[in-house]
Structure 1
Amino acid sequence: MQQTSPIEQTVEHLFRHEWGKLVAALTKLFGVHNLELAEDVVQDTLVKAFEHWKINGVPSNPSGWLYTVARNKAVDVIRQQKRGEEFARSFTHLLQSEYSLVPTIHEQLNEKFVDDDRLRMMFVCCHPSLSPESQVALVLKTLCGFSVTEIAKAFVCSYDTIEKRLYRARQTFREQQVDFELPAADVLDSRLNNVLMAVYLLFNEGYNSTHHENLIRNDLMREAMRLCELICRTKTVEHANSHALMALMCFNASRNNARMDDDGNILLMKQQDRSKWNRALIETGVFHLEESAAGETISKYHLEAGIAYEHARARDYAHTNWHNILSCYNLLQQLYPSPIIALNRAIVIAELHGPKEAIVAIELIEGKETLKNYYLLPAVLGEYHAQIGDHTKAKAYFKEAEGLTHSSAEKKLLKQKEQSLHRR
């Protein structure tokens, strides 16, 4: 497999790290109705960075270089627009005057404003005129730098479906003349759920990448945690669910150094060296879990964080409190029923009552047919049939699972499981 060059790796990192900041800052100037224009300027900036750095090397301050180029491109774009072009209401008169154009761009496209701009942009993307699916897709595209292909994989739907959602979202912003401002306090919380869902999807794509050559993508996970930390710090929204999600991400990210061996093989939790778990991240997770208790409701992030906490606090796999974990899954299934939650609950049942009981629980999952393209269903069934000695079914399930995952690391693990049955 072809390896990416250091320049490509640097540009990819900056793409993830700076994309949302630059798009948000430019949208503040251009207006939400010109969102696509803001994205085009950032895209051109990153293309120029790759071409220039490939020849001249990466500058000492690559982020600063990007901001300089983005400012210059923004000035050029505005000069090329018709004189009567409408930008953001508070900036149109400044951008239409040659006297104030350059100073305004340089003042506003500034790294000192990035956190405020990104926070506003997160909530703008979750405007109530958009469907929840479009809101999340827009956050992933606009603030997180996801490609349309990556979003489609995260949603398990087609490329064309995501393209249409993004097009309709931008069209709605133009028609409704949406402003680049935080909404009123009484509607902030209603938009927060979709903002958190977008952050959660971003983290999950980093934790278990669906398409990349690396199973674990720390850059995506760090970006998701940065966005969530930004939400936790703002004083204008209720923080309980944000802290719960932050706790969940900290607990899960703490295991990264132990999830793969030196040969690129996946190590399941039972096989992991817990001395490699990041204790500082676990402590940060505990802090956020405690902070999340201040709210009056319990979200799926609270319950999932509770499950992750039980794994984090167990000194080894044998001392995992599976009863507490099953209680969390029972409540999750009651409050947020889904076939995936039911499948994960069956895995816990296997730990407590054995593989036969788990197979029965899987057979009873309501809506199980929706998991027909989800590799983990046959992978789990393969594992449990192998444990009860039905190697013929186990091999068939492992082979089916291998055909459903795009991850080379997961394919390798499933192949190893299948081959181990031939040796028995």
Structure 2
Amino acid sequence: MQQQELIPHLFRTEYRKITAVLCKLFGIDKIEVAEDIASDTFLHASELWGLRGLPENPVAWLYTVAKNKAKDRLKRDTLYHNKIVQQMQLSTSELQEPDIDLSDQNIKDSQLQMMFAICHPAIPPEAQIGLSLRILCGFGIDEIAAAFLSNKETINKRLHRAKEKLRELNIKIELPGETEINQRLDTVLATLYLLFNEGYYSQARDITMRKDVSLEAIRLTHLLTGDRATNKPPVHALLALMSFHASRFEARLGQNGETVLYDDQDENLWDTDLVKQGKYFMQLSWEGGTISKYHLEAGIAYWHTIKADSVEKWESILQFYNQLLIIQYSPMAALNRTYALAKANGKQEAIAEAEKLGLSGNHLYHSLLGELYIDVDNSKAVEHLNIALKLAKSKADREVMERKIAGIKT
């Protein structure tokens, strides 16, 4: 890998590790210090490697520079005396250099602990996702702004307010006790779920999906399985759900970047390893005593990894949706259920159920009704698809509507 490709690659993989460890070292009130040291490390690398060439072990070089910068900061910062000395109960003369541990285990531990700090219930969900993208995934402010259809100034303000809230509450970067873990795990999983969906169903202008965002959500969820305190059935269920959806990444876009709908996808492009991973975690998830929405959505996603239509497939999906709406109702889940209802019981019943929802301002509502009315009442199908076309926010969605309209015989 050439230098111009290596540094961005290493920034994506190593920035987040360095930042998490340094955040834990400096404390929640010094998040910006950790981010600055990590950023300065990569800036130093881009300058020096351009002059002297690549070091023998670029990752080890980055870690060494980051450690030295952190030590220099500690030595000249009053934090060094006020925090480290007190914790170690040593006099200044007895004090030795602090250990900055960038081992694989400490990196994983620090990222997991940071995840629980960021996903504190007092922080708004959008800010949780933004901080996760920045600190735990190494995304730049421009990338986060694109994901939220926003601008750098708005994102910077949002992240600043979230950091101030963490300081105000003096949130510790550590795994909470068992009781609080069980309470906070729901918030962590909700953030990871939203993070995955932001990549899988990206709302960014003219971007159908952000695979890198979804893969980061999967990586962070995997971290939860590495600790006994967080390796729980809902985590397995969420990993199963993510794995099943991610298995169809390569089939969801055509050669020209156009959206390929499920029925038109080439199943040869589906990732069978991810399907197997999903089955493994789904099996683990059912070993617990409770059923979460992630269990039910994983079940729905599993049946979508079987391309062929069958009565068993659509009746199973319909039953999963019925249970899902009982434990956590949402209009979008109810809307998606009507498609399964059409497959299982026919279009007329599904149309009646869909129209009861009355989601007239949602392009997906009109898109689905347009699909259901095809060959039932084609003029109504075109009417709904034209409304969906006007409401759609992305170019990819508009292209889907245009193709559907063009294919209807009126």
The 3-state SS of whatever aligns with 2:296 is: helix
- One of 252, 261, 270 as aligned partner of 2:245: 252
The equivalent of 1:100 in structure 2 is: 96
* Contact 2:218/2:239 (<8 A) preserved: yes
Match of 1:31 among 8, 20, 27: 27
Aligned amino acid, residue 203 of structure 1: F
Give 1:291 shift.
0.7
| Inter-partner Cα distance in structure 1 for 2:90 and 2:164 | 25
Superposed CA offset, 1:238-296 (max 9, x none): 50100000111111112223223333332222122223322222122111111111222
Contact 2:116-2:188 at 8 Å conserved across structures: yes
Is 1:343 the counterpart of 2:335? The answer is yes
Q: Relative to structure 2, which stretch is displaced further, 193-202 or 289-298?
A: 193-202
- Identify the residue that residue 111 of structure 2 maps to in structure 1: 118
Instruction: Kindly report the root-mean-square deviation, in angstroms, between the aligned alpha carbons of the 2 structures.
Output: 3.7
Structure 1 residue 66 corresponds to structure 2 residue 53: no
Amino acid at match of 1:64: A
Separation in 2, partners of 1:348, 1:154: 30
**Aligned match of 2:383:** 393
Provide Cα deviations, 1:35-78, integer angstroms capped at 9, x if missing partner. 12212322333445556667777666443343233223323433
Deviation of the 1:166 alpha carbon: 3.2
Compared with structure 1, are the counterparts of its residues 216 and 15 closer, same or farther at alpha carbon in structure 2 (3 Å cutoff)? Answer: farther
Partner amino acid, structure 1, of 2:28: V
Match of 1:144 among 137, 146, 161: 137
Moved more, 192-201 or 259-268: 259-268
**2:18 is the counterpart of 1:18:** no
More divergent stretch after superposition (222-231 vs 321-330): 222-231
Deviation at 1:319, TM superposition (A): 6.4
Using the TM superposition, give the Cα deviation of residue 414 of structure 1 relative to its aligned residue in structure 2, in angstroms.
3.2
Relative to structure 2, which stretch is displaced further, 131-140 or 315-324? Answer: 131-140
CA deviation profile, 1:326-385 (whole Å, cap 9, x unmatched): 11111111111111111111222232344444343232227x36xx3x543333234334
2:403 — aligned with what?
Answer: 416
Question: In the TM superposition, what is the alpha-carbon distance from 1:308 to its structure 2 partner?
Answer: 0.9
Identity of aligned residues (%): 37
Counterparts of 1:21 and 1:29 in 2: how far apart (Å)? 13
* Residues 149-182 of structure 1: per-residue CA shift (max 9 Å, x gap): 7667767889777655533432233334333221
Amino acid corresponding to residue 323 of structure 1 in structure 2: E
**Which residue does the alignment assign to 1:197?**
190
Q: Which residue of 2 aligns with 1:78?
A: 74
Give 3-state SS (helix, strand or coil) of 1:182's partner: coil
**How far apart, CA to CA, are the structure 2 residues paired with 1:96 and 1:399?**
69
Show CA shifts across 1:299-346 (max 9, x none): 11000001011122x352456611111111111111111111111112
CA change 1:218–1:135 in 2 (3 A) is closer
Distance 1:94 1:26 in 2: 22
Unaligned runs of 5+ in 1: none
Q: Does 1:304 align with 2:292?
A: no
Question: Match of 1:383, as an amino acid?
Answer: E
Rounded to whole Å, the distance in 2 between the matches of 1:287 and 1:83 is: 47
* SS at structure 1 position matched to 2:383: helix
Q: Is the 8 A contact 2:244 2:298 kept in 1?
A: yes
Deviation, 1:85, is 6.7
Aligned partners of 1:336 and 1:261: how far apart in 2? Answer: 34
Compute the displacement of 1:110 (Å).
Answer: 3.9
Q: State the 1:12 CA deviation.
A: 4.9
Q: Contact (CA 8 Å) 1:32, 1:174: kept in 2 or not?
A: yes
Normalising to structure 1: TM-score of the pair? 0.81
Give 1:179's aligned residue. 172
Q: Judge conservation of contact 1:202–1:221 (CA < 8 Å) in 2.
A: yes
* Residue in structure 2 matched with residue 280 of structure 1 by the alignment: 273
Alpha-carbon spacing, 1:299–1:169, altered in 2? closer, same or farther (3 Å): same
Structure 1 residues 356 and 158, CA gap change in structure 2 (3 angstroms): farther
TM-score for the superposition, normalised by structure 2: 0.83
User: Aligned residue pairs: how many?
Assistant: 408
Contact 1:247–1:286 (CA under 8 A) maintained in structure 2: yes
2:287 alignment partner, SS class = coil
Q: Does 1:380 align with 2:368?
A: yes
State the partner residue of 1:219.
212
1:231 aligns with 224
Q: Is 2:189–2:235's contact at 8 Å kept on the other side of the alignment?
A: yes
Uncovered stretches (5+) of structure 2, i.e. residues with no partner:
none
Please list the CA deviations of residues 201-225 of structure 1 after superposition, one character each: whole Å capped at 9, or x if unmatched: 2222332333387644443333222
- Whole-angstrom distance in 1 between the partners of 2:298 and 2:256: 30
Distance 1:111 1:90 in 2: 28
> Could you say if the C-alpha distance between residues 200 and 359 of structure 1 is closer, same or farther in structure 2, counting changes exceeding 3 Å?
same
1:241 aligned partner: 234
